[in-house]
């Protein structure tokens, strides 16, 4: 994916599709599998070339060292380069924009370009799975009128014809099964639930699409049964029945 090498061409730090390694110190961390890939924040600092410690940052390609790597199938979607170190708040804003653009879940709150929280991680930690959204943020060049998580079992897609600048609509699920369970006297309820957050007035009309082909049951509906969408505006999870 990337590596940092010395002026002499020796690779010091490298991240591949299988591991992250500091070859200079002989330390590394392997990735167990596709579904257990870690979220990493990696930083490399280089001083001026005057003292001989300048390094070169390479994106993509191979290193001189014979590392056991595999080709990256889908390539690198996007990377951002800055001419200075970002503050923690600035990194959160950048990560939020990239995550919403590519349907990736973050392990912290989502911020807009103004630094305002548009989804609170701590308040909605139970529902911090497969987070996605639509957003209008001119400063971040975000005009997302269709939102869908890129992670597996993401069955929800929301779209709008247009979205107002400064507005957003984000959602995430509770990581439970995409299947129905009986509720005495209240029919069958899907175990997976979603919690959404809204900033401003995103759009006059939103279209929600649910992929029923992803339901983990051979026969989710009996004869004459239909799907219904239950909405709890209180945010407590106590749906009106």
Instruction: Give the pair of three-digit tokens for residue 57.
Output: 């940052």
Quick one: 192 and 117 in the same domain?
A: yes
Q: Are residues 189 and 101 in the same domain?
A: yes
User: Is the residue at 150 inside a domain?
Assistant: yes
pLDDT in tens, the chain (241 residues): 788 887 777 888 888 877 888 888 888 888 776 555 666 666 655 555 555 566 788 887 777 777 766 666 666 778 888 888 889 999 999 999 999 999 999 999 999 999 999 999 999 999 999 999 999 999 999 999 999 999 989 999 999 999 999 999 999 999 999 999 888 778 889 999 999 999 998 888 999 999 999 998 888 888 888 999 999 988 888 887 6
* 103 in the same domain as 23: no
Question: How many domains does the chain divide into?
Answer: 2
**Domain identity same for 205 and 94:** yes
Residue 237 lies inside a defined structural domain of this protein: no
Domain assignment present for residue 236? The answer is: no
Q: Which of 59, 80, 108 finishes a domain?
A: 59
- What the block records as the tokens of 145 is 């009128």
96 and 13 together in one domain: no
Please report whether residue 171 resides in a domain: yes
Helices (H) and strands (E) in the chain, counts: 1, 16
Of 125, 142, 108, 93, nearest to 195 by C-alpha is 125
- Regarding whether 45 and 94 lie in a shared domain, the answer is no
For residue 8, what are the domain limits? 2-59
In a domain, 142, yes or no: yes
Q: For residue 71, is it within any domain?
A: no
- Under a CB-based contact definition with an 8 Å cutoff, are residues 121 and 129 in contact? no
Q: pTM, whole model, 2 decimals?
A: 0.80
- In this structure, what are the phi and psi dihedrals at residue 93, rounded to the nearest 5 degrees? -65, -45
């Amino acid at each position: 994916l990337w590596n940092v090498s010395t002026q002499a061409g020796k690779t010091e730090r490298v991240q591949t599709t299988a591991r992250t390694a500091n070859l200079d110190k002989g330390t590394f961390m392997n990735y167990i599998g596709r579904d257990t890939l870690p979220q990493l924040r990696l930083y490399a600092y280089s001083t001026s070339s005057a003292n001989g410690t300048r390094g070169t940052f390479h994106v993509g390609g191979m290193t001189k060292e014979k590392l056991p790597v595999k080709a990256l199938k889908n390539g690198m979607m996007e990377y951002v380069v800055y001419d200075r170190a970002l503050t923690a708040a600035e990194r959160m804003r950048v990560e939020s924009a990239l995550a919403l653009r590519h349907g990736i879940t973050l392990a912290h709150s989502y911020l807009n370009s103004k630094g305002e929280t548009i989804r609170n991680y701590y308040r909605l930690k139970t529902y911090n799975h497969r987070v996605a959204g639509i957003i209008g943020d001119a400063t971040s060049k975000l005009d997302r009128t269709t939102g869908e998580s890129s992670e597996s079992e993401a069955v929800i897609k929301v779209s709008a014809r247009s979205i107002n600048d400064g507005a957003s609509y984000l959602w995430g699920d509770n990581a439970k099964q995409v299947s129905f369970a009986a509720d005495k006297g209240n029919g069958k309820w899907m175990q997976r639930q979603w919690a959404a957050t809204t900033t401003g007035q995103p759009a006059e009309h939103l279209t929600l699409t649910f992929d029923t082909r992803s339901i983990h049951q051979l026969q989710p509906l009996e004869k004459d049964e239909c799907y219904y969408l239950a909405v709890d505006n209180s945010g407590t999870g106590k749906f009106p029945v």
